[in-house]
Structure 1
Amino acid sequence: MMESVTRRTFLTGSGAVAAAGLLGACDTAADSAGRAGSADVLTWWDHSPNLKPINQKIFAAFEKKPDGAKVQYTLQQTSKMGQTLQLAKQSSQLPDITTAAGLELPLSSLVDGKWFQPIELDDEALARLKSELYDGFHRIDGKLYTFPLFSVRTHNSAVWFNTELAGKAGLDPGTPPRTFDAFRAAARKMQDASGGGNGWICNIGMPERLSAQVNELAQCSGFQGNRGQLFQTGDYAYHDDAFLTAIEFLLSLHRDKLMAPGSTTMDDKQARARFATGRIGYYIDGPWCAGVINETLKPFAPKLGGGGLLTADAAQKPAVYVVPTQGMYHLTANAKDPALASRLLSMATTEEYYVGIANGMARPPLDLGAIDKAEVLPAYKSVVTSFRDEVFLGPHELLKNPAVSAVQAKSKPIKPGLGEIVQGAFSGDVTNLRSELTKLSDAANRQRDANITAAKGAGAKVGRDDFAFTDWKPYADYGPDKYK
């Protein structure tokens, strides 16, 4: 296996000057034999370092196959992946296989825009994936353009903690807190036992991640919807009491001086590193927290504990509702040998691959049973086990009517969004939280309705009813059978 793309050949064509800076993420330089379309070399761009070990393993195995090929691999920076792909498309230098991180368009729009071509997975791979493939998410007009690698049962808000500090504080590491009040009390005990540390640290400097976590805490406070949109009616209701309860919980930790200094500007990398110094009690993060700590902050790994979702009170059963898992890898329109690339991608659907994903301790693999066959930290296994009981597949308008993609394609981020509003509440710039959340709800409803009108005007058969699911019930999967 070779790593990285050809810097010299990429920098030809439009966007060359800007691309020079973006391609600084390439691991090594290679010669021009690795261009997309070569009969004996496939090019692969990625943004996930957690998948690098298992990908390198299947690349090496693929190269040894009589009908295989070498793979030239580039790990791009996640924040720059979208722009790098845009520049590559302008100069007709997309790789054979890539992720779509940063493109921020629904799959249907990317297919219409001639970004990707269908994948021809082998029969065994298709059989393994059969129950996990969804129209609009993985298939367009009956053709497969991507497929999921990860389980739908995951979220951003697991409770990670310092087991050593918990012991010093008189807490039982085996029974982490499950309610807001219990978390607040435990954070106080952790802080008191830390010798000058803090009970909790947060990545408030990341508005998108903050938004996702507040959304999940709101669901655990009784919000019957996802991303601000109520399942039963389709209305946006960020101003619902459940969102206020979730945000107030986080703000109370700040007011009670339990939050580590600097949290308001930290990203997840900074917050996780501070957490791993051993003087912070709790950090709320996704499952990848274990993998990152084990890889880059290894001395702290034996002290890491993990638990499930927090709820507003003990009477509230924890639950979050998620959409089907997006596909990870795509075959670009530039790829001249789709059959060769598809044979390689088929290797990313095996038990061996899923165990490799699990070993990386990021998002759990599509087959959760692979966790039992992998070498993982006990904290990671505990968190993933909680996903089985606390994460449910929610309804999605795209599955109800694929024409909704025409509405999605017209959507633009509303600013300030939920994350920015919560940031403002922490900084003191937002003094009337309900008012700001109401403005966000109104703006989201107006934009969605305007986009429906525009999509209908362009010929899409779509309507307001496509966004309402009157038969939705809590604590159950809204599976594919519901759309028939």
Structure 2
Amino acid sequence: MNDHDRTASEVAHSLSRRQALKVAGGSALAFAAGRVVPSGADAQTPPSQPADPMQIILPETGITLPTDEVTFRWVDSGDSKALFFRAYFDAFTQAHPNIKFDYLGLPWTEIAQVVPLGVRNGNAPDVFQVPQEIPIAEAVREGWVRPIDDLIPNFPAWQAGFPPVSFVEGVNVFNGRVYTFPRSTSRRAGIVNYFNRAYLEEAGYNPAETPLTWDTLRDAARKVTENGQGQYYGIILVGKQVGRWEQYVRNMGRLAGSSAGPDDIDYRTGEYVYTSDGYLAAIELLLALRDDGVVFPGSMSLNDPQARAQMPQGVAGMIFEGEFTLPIWVRDNPDFEFGVSPIPTPSASFTPMGYQNTGTNHQWLYAESKLPEVAAEIFTYLGSEAGQLAFVSITGGSDPSVFDSVNQRAPVDERMRTVYGIYEKYMRLCPDVRIKNPETSQVYLRLQRPTPSFGEIVQGIYTGQLEDPKQAMQDLQDRQDQALDEAIEAARRDGANVSRDDYVFPNWDPTTDYLESDYAELG
């Protein structure tokens, strides 16, 4: 049963004793975590500094909320986020009984259907995550979402509480208007290697002590499959989810030496890296695993929640999954002995993956929402340090905060801190063209995504629908180049001072963080 199929009380029963039940105002409230304290209810503890990191403290914002009976609809990708939002929405309704919530945590494959359909029909959720395959600038351009800077009280002070570079034109700011804010840090790769300790030890490996290379990954997967004798396999893939195929190749390819940012551009040259040796080698590795017969046979029909739910059942030795997987297993499968390690690299050495410090887990306010003031109330809390602390603590750290102080204070499983350490070791801050030239935000507003997409092409190569990986990736690169050139030209026609040269950072060293001083060197 997925999180979005469970009530808050059902989720609460599956939590640890520390998380399950707290007492507020003299009455027992079974939330997914934390005790709920309306602002000012605890005179000993100011709302901004809760003594219990799992407290949900509702602040006094001064926002005028609806007085009639309303239902606010929220859709996101669920997972461990559902633990927090079910608890928070219950607390909100306790404080404002006329405001109910319809919360859905959906797999990304379903978000890709539900959100665009709702927008077309004029009844999209009040707040939603934009499907992974749709560029944010496209959602803004098409009028799906609206700004929030006119909704949150004392917005400049609220915004100033975030770390530097949290608000960037073309990321969450468009034409000078702020549309959303980063709820989680962007120093996260999206996948690490989770492994069944017993299966890997029986095969002679402990990836937590000695991270796997591509060769030892294949060897370990073969031995686990042989030991399984048809009952379990070396690895399970998230085959149904297009975005996961992108991550497999992007992350392994960059670690293999194809240095690029999260948009697959090598900022030393300004060129896409789809046809690079690292990306093509990563595809060949996926094909080798397929041909070795070590991939769980049902992988192509599985999305994220389905695939990760199979691991505690013992169907595979490894899965490359996101950090959100860890607290779900800790909560729902406490007897499952698993470890965590970096995703495999070609050898013991590696090239760090580039990330841009603009945050992740953005949520967007539907342009036609009739309840923007409710969204403002929620966003005001989520963007505060108290809200971030409650969120990270309740979710088990699966979505680390943009506030470092929050991540240090939040109580999380030690294996989650291992994940944080992996990201710290394997990721470096890379250039962001929107910081170098803010006018490039106009390019992203006009950039049309090519179809089939990167993930769809890798998926097609794996299934055999596309027979020549190099040619398929060359076609993708050509179409992406054309789309970028056309977007630049369209922005120039509308007055933006932009060019392909904006995407070149000759002083970028992928092994070190790209800092303000590096931008200054460009002149």
TM-score > 0.5 by shorter chain: yes
Amino acid of the structure 2 residue aligned with 1:74: Y
Rounded to whole Å, the distance in 1 between the matches of 2:240 and 2:292 is 20
After superposition, residues 411-426 of structure 1 pair within 5 angstroms as 411-426=447-462
Partner of residue 159, structure 1: 193
Partner of residue 38, structure 1: 66
Partner of residue 27, structure 2: none
Partner of residue 202, structure 1: 237
Correspondent of 1:435 among 463, 467, 471? 471
Partner of residue 129, structure 1: 162
Rounded to whole Å, the distance in 2 between the matches of 1:94 and 1:203 is 27
Moved more, 115-124 or 105-114: 105-114
Deviation of the 1:339 alpha carbon: 6.0
Correspondent of 2:359 among 325, 344, 355? 325
Rounded to whole Å, the distance in 1 between the matches of 2:144 and 2:293 is 52
Q: 1:252 to 1:84 in 2, by over 3 A?
A: closer
Deviations 1:162-220 (A, max 9, x none): 01222333333641523212222222333343353211121233332111220110000
Given that residues 157 and 286 in structure 1 are in contact (C-alpha distance below 8 angstroms), is that contact kept between their aligned partners in structure 2? yes
Give the SS at the match of 1:311: coil
Give the SS at the match of 2:74: strand
Partner of residue 389, structure 2: 354
Deviations 1:316-373 (A, max 9, x none): 2543435622462334445677666434322113245334335424333323554554
Correspondent of 1:243 among 268, 272, 279? 279
Rounded to whole Å, the distance in 2 between the matches of 1:459 and 1:95 is 35
Q: 1:280 to 1:82 in 2, by over 3 A?
A: closer
Rounded to whole Å, the distance in 1 between the matches of 2:110 and 2:292 is 38
Given that residues 143 and 367 in structure 2 are in contact (C-alpha distance below 8 angstroms), is that contact kept between their aligned partners in structure 1? no
Partner of residue 22, structure 1: none
Partner of residue 462, structure 1: 498
Amino acid of the structure 1 residue aligned with 2:74: W
Correspondent of 2:204 among 164, 170, 173? 170
Deviation of the 1:279 alpha carbon: 3.9
Rounded to whole Å, the distance in 1 between the matches of 2:436 and 2:473 is 28
- Residues paired across the two proteins, number: 448
Moved more, 427-436 or 36-45: 36-45
Amino acid of the structure 1 residue aligned with 2:388: Y
Gaps of 5+ in 1: 5-35
Identity %: 25
Gaps of 5+ in 2: 6-63
Give the SS at the match of 1:171: coil
- Whether 1:232 and 2:268 are equivalent positions in the alignment is yes
Moved more, 229-238 or 455-464: 455-464
Given that residues 115 and 125 in structure 2 are in contact (C-alpha distance below 8 angstroms), is that contact kept between their aligned partners in structure 1? no
Q: 1:320 to 1:191 in 2, by over 3 A?
A: farther
Rounded to whole Å, the distance in 2 between the matches of 1:201 and 1:481 is 43
Moved more, 421-430 or 202-211: 421-430
After superposition, residues 255-266 of structure 1 pair within 5 angstroms as 255-266=291-302
Rounded to whole Å, the distance in 2 between the matches of 1:103 and 1:180 is 28
Rounded to whole Å, the distance in 1 between the matches of 2:266 and 2:498 is 19
Partner of residue 29, structure 2: none
Structure 1 or 2: more helix by fraction: 1
Given that residues 130 and 139 in structure 2 are in contact (C-alpha distance below 8 angstroms), is that contact kept between their aligned partners in structure 1? no
Rounded to whole Å, the distance in 1 between the matches of 2:508 and 2:432 is 11
Deviations 1:259-309 (A, max 9, x none): 2223344333333233322241111112122244345xx336631211123
Partner of residue 408, structure 1: 444
Deviations 1:418-453 (A, max 9, x none): 333333433344443222222222221122112222
Q: 1:173 to 1:216 in 2, by over 3 A?
A: closer
Rounded to whole Å, the distance in 1 between the matches of 2:464 and 2:138 is 41
Partner of residue 28, structure 1: none
- Whether 1:54 and 2:54 are equivalent positions in the alignment is no
Rounded to whole Å, the distance in 2 between the matches of 1:130 and 1:401 is 20
- Whether 1:276 and 2:328 are equivalent positions in the alignment is no
Moved more, 439-448 or 85-94: 85-94
Rounded to whole Å, the distance in 1 between the matches of 2:389 and 2:243 is 28
Partner of residue 149, structure 1: 183
Moved more, 146-155 or 444-453: 444-453
Deviation of the 1:252 alpha carbon: 2.0
- Whether 1:310 and 2:340 are equivalent positions in the alignment is no
Given that residues 450 and 480 in structure 2 are in contact (C-alpha distance below 8 angstroms), is that contact kept between their aligned partners in structure 1? yes
Amino acid of the structure 1 residue aligned with 2:353: A
Given that residues 237 and 438 in structure 1 are in contact (C-alpha distance below 8 angstroms), is that contact kept between their aligned partners in structure 2? no
Rounded to whole Å, the distance in 1 between the matches of 2:464 and 2:126 is 48
Rounded to whole Å, the distance in 2 between the matches of 1:350 and 1:275 is 34
Deviations 1:129-174 (A, max 9, x none): 1422323323334443211111111113301100122233333364
Rounded to whole Å, the distance in 1 between the matches of 2:189 and 2:284 is 21
Moved more, 206-215 or 194-203: 194-203
Deviation of the 1:111 alpha carbon: 7.0
Q: 1:357 to 1:301 in 2, by over 3 A?
A: farther
Correspondent of 2:140 among 110, 115, 133? 110
Rounded to whole Å, the distance in 2 between the matches of 1:426 and 1:269 is 21
- Whether 1:188 and 2:222 are equivalent positions in the alignment is yes
Deviation of the 1:413 alpha carbon: 3.3
Rounded to whole Å, the distance in 2 between the matches of 1:269 and 1:96 is 24
Partner of residue 480, structure 2: 444
Amino acid of the structure 2 residue aligned with 1:247: I
